[in-house]
Chain A
């Protein structure tokens, strides 16, 4: 059973389009995250939700909008895609805000042409 699953795994799209990445975890965790990993391999936190409530919102363009319909799901919608948005986006979850071990999804590689 996949603990943290995200779809799609690969996404190729044109500049200016809108796209979504979905994430689901079946671990019963309270906290979910979206990370961006660029070509330099730095993992950058984008958003964190705890029990469907936003707790971390780093300096991310407002073209990026997370949505958490329930604590098992955290989706990421991106409007007006730009070339610089090309990266691998990882969803992750943890048991709680103060419980650091993260369980990552397989990643979604977004390529903007």
Chain B
């Protein structure tokens, strides 16, 4: 079966750094997405990785290791508005998106 694992919930402090991990087992791989979803809102695109390595975009970075079936989302200089769920999703060999359940990130002052 296909599976995406990420922690259910994480807590971090404003101004700090947090890393949200995602591991996957899928039939094929055609890329990995991270989406942010604030409570009561729609998911919005954060990043896309298809090659190994780190992609940096402002305060957010995403890393991929295809051989390990592993990705992480790194958030720096945390702000209260970063409190949200972060969804990992993998594109399988049929170009279907397989979604993780999301990691709820709680930021404390």
Contact = CB atoms under 8 A, between A and B. Distances in A.
Interface of A: 40-45, 56, 90, 97-98, 100-107
Contacts of A41: 37, 85, 101-102, 104
How many interface residues does chain B have, given as a range?
Answer: 20 to 34
Given A42-B102, A43-B99, A107-B42, 9 more contacts: A56-B96, A97-B95, A98-B30, A100-B30, A100-B89, A100-B97, A101-B48, A103-B45, A105-B42
Nearest to A33: B97
Contact of B43 (A56, A97, A104): A104
B99 A90 contact: no
A97 B91 CA distance: 11
15 contacts: A41-B37, A41-B101, A42-B102, A45-B96, A45-B97, A90-B43, A100-B33, A100-B91, A100-B97, A101-B33, A101-B48, A102-B43, A102-B97, A106-B41, A107-B41
A107 B38 CA distance: 12
A107 B42 CA distance: 6
Interface of B: 30-31, 33, 35, 37, 40-45, 48, 85, 87, 89, 91, 95-97, 99, 101-102, 104
A45 B33 CA distance: 16
Given A43-B87, A56-B96, A100 B43 contact: no
Contact of B31 (A90, A97, A100, A104): A100
B101 A40 contact: yes
Nearest to A94: B97
A64 B44 CA distance: 26
Contacts of A97: 95
- Among B85, B95, B101, B104, the one with the most A-chain Cβ atoms within 10 Å of its Cβ is B95
Nearest to A96: B95
Contact of B42 (A98, A100, A104): A104
A90 B99 CA distance: 14
B42 A106 contact: yes
A102 B97 CA distance: 10
